[in-house]
Amino acid sequence: MEAIKTLDLCKEYPDTVAVKRLNLEIFEGELFALLGVNGAGKTTTIKMLTCLTRPSGGDAFVCGYSILRDAEKIKALIDVSMQETAIARNLTVAENIRFYAQLNGQSREEIDKTTAYLFDAFELGKVKDKRAASLSGGWQRKLSIALALVTHPKVLFLDEPTLGLDVIARREIWKTIRDLRKNMTIVLTTHYMEEVEALADRLGIMKDGELLFVGSREELYRKSGKESVEDAFIHVVGGGDLDA
Amino acid sequence: MRDSIKRIRTLAGRNVKEILRDPLSLIFMMGLPLFMEVLFFFIFHKLTAQFEIRYLAPGIAVFAQAFTTLFAGLLIALDRGTSFLTRLYVSKARSYEFIFGYTLSLLPVALVQSALFFLVGGLLDPSFWSVRFLWGILLCGVTSLLFIGLGILFGAMCSEKSVGGVSSAVIAGQSILSGMWFPTEGLGDGFLTALRVLPFKNATMLIQNAVNGYGDFVADMLCPLLIVLAYTAAAFALAIVVFQNKMKRA
Query: What is the ipTM score, two decimals?
Result: 0.83
- Yes or no: say if A53 and B250 are a contact pair by the CB < 8 Å rule: yes
Interior angle at CA B235, CA B230 and CA B239, nearest 5: 150
Pairwise CB contact (< 8 Å): B14 & A91: yes
A97-132: per-residue pLDDT in tens? 999 999 988 999 999 999 999 998 888 999 999 999
| Chain A residues closer than 8 Å to B89 by CB | 52
Q: Which residues of A touch B244 (CB under 8 A)?
A: none
- Exposed/middle/buried for A1, CB within 10 Å: 0-12, 13-18, 19+? exposed
Q: Which helix (H) or strand (E) holds B224?
A: helix B223-248
A50-61: average pLDDT: 93
Spatial neighbors of A96 by CB under 8 A, at least 6 apart, are A87, A88, A132, A143, A147
Interface test with B, best of A46, A80, A90, A154 (most B CBs within 10 A): A90
Q: What confidence tens digit (pLDDT) does each residue in B86-140 have?
A: 888 888 788 889 999 999 999 999 999 999 999 999 999 999 988 999 999 999 9
Contact B88 A88 (CB under 8 A): no
Q: Is the dihedral of CA B2, B244, B67, B145 positive or negative?
A: negative
Answer yes or no: are the C-beta atoms of B30 and B113 closer than 8 Å: yes
Tell me how crowded residue B211 is: count the other CB atoms within 10 A of its CB. Answer: 26
Per-residue pLDDT band at B155 (split at 50, 70, 90): very high
Q: Which residues in chain A have their CB less than 8 angstroms from residue B18's CB?
A: 88-91
Q: What residue of A is the nearest CA neighbor of B21?
A: A90
- Answer whether B50's CB lies under 8 Å from B185's CB: no
The per-residue pLDDT for A244 is 53
Per-residue pLDDT at A50 exceeds 70: yes
pLDDT at A6: 96
| Cβ atoms of residues B243 and B79 within 8 Å | no
Determine whether the interchain pair A86/B83 forms a contact, defined as Cβ–Cβ distance below 8 Å.
yes
> Is any Cβ of chain B less than 8 angstroms from the Cβ of A102?
yes
Distance CA B124, CA B42 (A): 9
Could A50 and B90 be called an inter-chain contact, meaning their C-beta atoms sit closer than 8 Å? yes
C-alpha–C-alpha distance, residues A134 and B78, integer Å: 16
Q: pLDDT category, B207, cuts 50, 70, 90?
A: very high
Number of A to B CB contacts under 8 A, please give it. Answer: 78
Q: Percentage of residues in chain A with pLDDT exceeding 90?
A: 60
> A105 and chain B: CB distance < 8 Å anywhere?
yes
- What is the average pLDDT across A34-52? 91
Mutation site for B-interface testing, chosen from A44, A73, A89, A157 by largest number of B Cβ within 10 Å: A89
Q: Residue A234: which residues within 8 A CB-CB, separation 6 or more?
A: none
- A84 inside 8 A of chain B by CB: yes
Of the candidates A124, A157, A161, A167, the one whose C-alpha atom is nearest the C-alpha of residue A143 is A124
Mean pLDDT of A205-210: 93
What Cα–Cα distance (Å) separates residue B64 from each residue in B55, B60, B68, B101, B147?
Answer: 14, 6, 8, 21, 10
The per-residue pLDDT of chain B, averaged, comes to 91
- Whether B186 has a pLDDT exceeding 80, the answer reads no
How does the average pLDDT of chain A come out, rounded?
A: 90
Return the pLDDT at B86.
85
Annotate B57-93 with three-state secondary structure: HHHHHHHHHHHHHHHHHHHHHHHHHCCHHHHHHCCCC
Among chain A residues, the shortest Cα distance to B14 is held by A99
C-alpha distance from B65 to closest chain A C-alpha (Å): 22
Say what percent of chain B tops pLDDT 70. 99
Q: Choosing among B87, B92, B97, B247, which should be mutated to test the A contact, i.e. which has the most A CBs within 10 A?
A: B87
Q: What is the pLDDT of residue A161?
A: 85
pLDDT, tens digit (0-9, with 9 covering 90-100), for B52-94 = 999 999 999 999 999 999 999 999 999 988 888 888 888 878 8
Q: How far is CA A120 from the centre of its chain?
A: 21
